Amino acid sequence: MSYLISCRYTVVPFSDVVLPPLSSKVVKFVVDVRGGRVGELSRSSMPFKPLSISPLFLGGSPLISFRVGGPPLSVRGGTPLTTYLSVVFSDYGLVDELTSLEGVYDTPYGRFRFNVDSLEVVDVRALGLGLTKFFRVDFITPTVLTSKYMLPPTLKSRSRSLPEKHRLVPQPSLIFSYLLRLWNSVVSPGERIPNTCASDWEAYKLGRLSDIALVEVSYRLRPVSVVIGRDVKGRLRIAKGFKGWVTYECLSSKLLQVYDKLLALATYLGIGRSRGIGLGLVRVKTYNTKTNDSS
């Protein structure tokens, strides 16, 4: 049995601080230092890892710097920030590890106090958003998708020889083939979709169907670049992705049930590359066609 464990922290810097371009690095530093199984996961480079550390939020806005070479992110001492740490695990004991992150930490970015705000534990079988035919996906942090997500499984062995390129528009096939593989990687075999024997073909097929079953009703999107760190030679590593929102109409009530679960997971673990450090975070809600869509 797998649980989704999500913990919200208030993070307060003791003095004025300059944050890294991707502010989740502050939280990741603390998680890595504390170690344990969560620290191990955070440091791991495994694909589809069952963990996401969100950026620091200031009043609902994620603190991420989009302008390469622009002014750095800075926050006044004493300002309360928020962050979320989400993990899917079959071990209830992780709850203690997450709550015990409370404390005061000296980081390369300054001194911070971490307090647990709230803790949510959900059986993955109960995950769902209750979506109806029209729903809206807000990509609240930059989302990075690559066309490799829709490589037919028979060509998997040649995947490494293909260039790693990012697609800058949210194509349903890329989103849902990714999410089904994520789901089936993080849950116990008995909770896989559609069943225990699910392979990469199920993800590929769901992707293919999604480009037919989902149509955009409206959207506002823009491409963004984000500094995600430095490589071994000290050069900036920049990821290209997109931000914004899309309202979809789902033409298949059968697939809607699958999307409902996958998107519920995505609101905790994110979508696409660098989820572990808070990229690809989404909010999803049923869209009332009578409300204005321009917000």
Which amino acid, 49?
K
Quote the least distance from Cβ 225 to a second copy, whole Å.
Answer: 10
Q: Candidates 33-41, 77-85, 220-228, 257-265: pick the segment binding a second copy (CB under 8 A).
A: 220-228
Among 223, 230, 253, 286, binds a second copy (CB under 8 A): 223
Count of CA atoms in the C-beta half-sphere (13 A) of 108? 8
Q: For residue 145, what are the β-bridge partners?
A: 167
Scanning residues 224 to 253, which ones bind a second copy (CB under 8 A)? 246, 249, 251
Among 19, 27, 41, 150, binds a second copy (CB under 8 A): 150
Among 217, 255, 256, 285, binds a second copy (CB under 8 A): 217
Closest by alpha carbon to 182, among 285, 290, 262? 262
255 binds a second copy (CB under 8 A): no
Quote the least distance from Cβ 32 to a second copy, whole Å.
Answer: 33
3-state secondary structure 189-230: HHHCCCCCCCCHHHHHHHHHHHHHHEEEEEEEEEEEEEEEEE
With respect to a second copy, which residue has the nearer C-beta, 24 or 171? 171
Among 167, 261, 273, 275, binds a second copy (CB under 8 A): 167
Q: Using CB under 8 A as the criterion, what x/- string covers residues 171-190 for binding a second copy?
A: x-x-----------------
Element housing 267 (H / E): helix 253-269
Q: Candidates 35-43, 94-102, 209-217, 231-239: pick the segment binding a second copy (CB under 8 A).
A: 209-217
165 binds a second copy (CB under 8 A): yes
Quote the least distance from Cβ 217 to a second copy, whole Å.
Answer: 7
Given a contact cutoff of 8 angstroms between Cβ atoms, the answer to whether 168 and 242 are in contact is yes
143 binds a second copy (CB under 8 A): no
Which amino acid, 176?
F
With respect to a second copy, which residue has the nearer C-beta, 25 or 167? 167
Q: How far is CA 67 from the centre of its chain?
A: 21
d(CA 171, CA 168): 9
Which amino acid, 153?
P
Which amino acid, 103?
G
Q: CA angle, 191 as apex, 186 and 195 as ends, to 5°?
A: 115
d(CA 113, CA 102): 8
Q: Candidates 33-41, 55-63, 147-155, 226-234: pick the segment binding a second copy (CB under 8 A).
A: 147-155
Quote the least distance from Cβ 212 to a second copy, whole Å.
Answer: 5
Positions that interact with a second copy (CB under 8 A): 147, 150-151, 162-163, 165-171, 173, 211-212, 215-223, 246, 249, 251
